[in-house]
């Protein structure tokens, strides 16, 4: 999109160039927020599921290996998500450095650096999404392993393993 803006560095830039610059900045900001949101959801998923794994493992006194795998996956994913978040901040910073509206000197020289950073950032963020997805899939198998171990224990103890159906009853009305 930035390639279609026009020449921001001509004096004065055209009205259409300013309009495309605004659209480019809003789209970039929206994309950055979306990247931060997706990574935040992945981090939140791992915080919640690793806590669940810990509580269930301790409650049922299960083998700690699945818990350790879940914690390892969380740490591994957290690092990648933070790196993805920082890369989008870096791309935005390069964009700000190339904006002639800031009044900075040599902003035109930063435009090609911003373009390269945007392409590299996009590829890197896509890679972090892919790795987070693979780690989420791996964590799902850890969760399934814990659920199966709990089901075995509950069957051995004669506890209900089937989900309870909700009993709905209408409370008797009290007359005054």
pTM over 0.85: no
Q: What is the mean pLDDT of residues 104-132?
A: 94
CB 66 within 8 A of CB 53: yes
- What is the model's pLDDT at position 60? 96
**In this model, does residue 11 exceed pLDDT 90?**
no
pLDDT-derived band of residue 15, with 50, 70 and 90 as boundaries? Answer: confident
Domain boundaries, the chain: 2-156
Q: What is the mean pLDDT of residues 38-66?
A: 97
- The helix-helix angle for 15-60 and 65-97 (nearest 10°) equals 170
Q: What is the mean pLDDT of residues 124-151?
A: 97
Q: What is the mean pLDDT of residues 45-74?
A: 97
**In this model, does residue 176 exceed pLDDT 60?**
no
> pLDDT tens-digit profile of 67-116?
999 999 999 999 999 999 999 999 999 999 998 888 888 888 999 999 99
Dihedral (CA of 55, 61, 64, 69) sign? negative
């Amino acid at each position: 999109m930035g390639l279609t803006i026009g020449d921001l560095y001509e004096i004065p830039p055209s009205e259409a160039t300013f309009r495309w610059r605004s659209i480019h900045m809003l789209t970039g900001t929206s994309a950055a927020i979306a990247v931060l949101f997706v990574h935040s959801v992945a981090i939140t998923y791992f915080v919640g599921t690793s806590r669940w794994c810990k509580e269930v493992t301790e409650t049922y006194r299960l083998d700690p290996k699945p818990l350790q795998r879940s914690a390892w996956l969380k740490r591994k994913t957290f690092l990648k998500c933070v790196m993805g978040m920082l890369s989008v901040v870096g791309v935005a910073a390069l964009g700000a450095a190339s904006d002639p509206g800031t009044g900075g000197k040599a902003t035109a020289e930063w435009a090609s650096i911003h373009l390269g950073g945007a392409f590299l950032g996009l590829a890197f963020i896509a890679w972090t999404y892919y790795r987070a997805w693979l780690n989420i899939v791996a964590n799902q198998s850890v969760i399934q392993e814990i659920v199966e171990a709990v089901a075995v224990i509950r069957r051995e103890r004669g506890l209900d393993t089937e989900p309870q159906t909700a009993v709905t009853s209408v409370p008797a009305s009290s007359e005054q």
